[in-house]
Amino acid sequence: QAGMSALGRTLARGLDVKTGVTVTSLERLDATQGGGWRVHSREGQSWEAPTLILNVPAPQLLALLGTLDPGSPDPVPAILHGHDSEAAARQAGPVMYDPCWAAGVILRHDVPADWRALRPDHPVLEWIAREHTKRPDGAPPALTLHATPAWSRANLERTPEQVLPDLLAAAQDILGPLDTAQAFAHRWRYSIPAVTAPGPCHWDAALGLGWCGDWFTPDPHGPRVESALLSGWALARRVTGTD
């Protein structure tokens, strides 16, 4: 009822969480430094820890792992060779995502409908949700729009300001005139995994290194938001030895 971010905010209570930070490289500390990990950010900050957990899309995972061995033609850095992480990293290579342009639309007046979500047969939009139906009573009427993978891919490098009018026009083509108070567009370059990796997650106890995400297959139901949660839980159990 409080939105999808409520779970993350609840789990983060009491933790030192850094937001608005872009991690650009990883560093493996040598044995004299404890053999842990150092993470570097674009903002010039760095952090050290004995265990490193990565929860990012597979292409971003491989890019970060590549910073451990810059310039190497092998996408899997040498430091992972001979460890469980070598095979797991190679399994991440074939993972592919469908992109998605999305829009959030706050309305002055709700659309005349009794549905919560709609899958229209339309060349631009594949999903429309009446977002306020998932919120407490009194929330302003709002729509969430998801473009089709094909349209999103064809328009991937346009700006949010450029694609928003097209998304709103498509919504009005389906729903009729919208009384829009506010709207924004957001690009998900890595939206829905089209090709996944086997297993629920990866954990390498010898390196203190693991990763998880919606691109794993923690159960047989296919890619969905629950896959990310199940993958994270599976990794947590392995890290804590409760699996």
Asked whether the predicted pLDDT for residue 11 surpasses 90, the reply is no
Asked whether the predicted pLDDT for residue 8 surpasses 90, the reply is no
Number of domains in the chain: 2
Q: Does 126 share its domain with 48?
A: no
The CATH number of whichever domain residue 104 belongs to comes to 3.90.660.10
Task: Please indicate, yes or no, if residue 72 is contained in any of the structural domains.
Answer: no
Task: Please indicate, yes or no, if residue 68 is contained in any of the structural domains.
Answer: no
Query: Residue 175 is inside which H or E element, if any?
Result: helix 160-175
Helices assigned H by DSSP within 52-148 = 58-66, 84-92
Q: Does 110 share its domain with 173?
A: yes
Q: What is the pTM of this model?
A: 0.86
Per-residue pLDDT reduced to its tens digit, 139-150? 899 999 999 999
Tell me which residue range forms the domain holding 228.
5-59+196-240
Task: Please indicate, yes or no, if residue 178 is contained in any of the structural domains.
Answer: yes
Q: How confident is the model at residue 243 (pLDDT cuts 50, 70, 90)?
A: confident
187 φ/ψ angles, rounded to the nearest 5 degrees: -100, 125
Q: Does 169 share its domain with 201?
A: no
Q: How confident is the model at residue 5 (pLDDT cuts 50, 70, 90)?
A: confident
19: its two tokens: 């937001």
Q: How confident is the model at residue 4 (pLDDT cuts 50, 70, 90)?
A: low
Q: How far apart are CA 166 and CA 101, in angstroms?
A: 11
Question: What mean pLDDT comes out for the span 114-128?
Answer: 95
Nearest to 192 by CA among 128, 146, 231, 161: 146
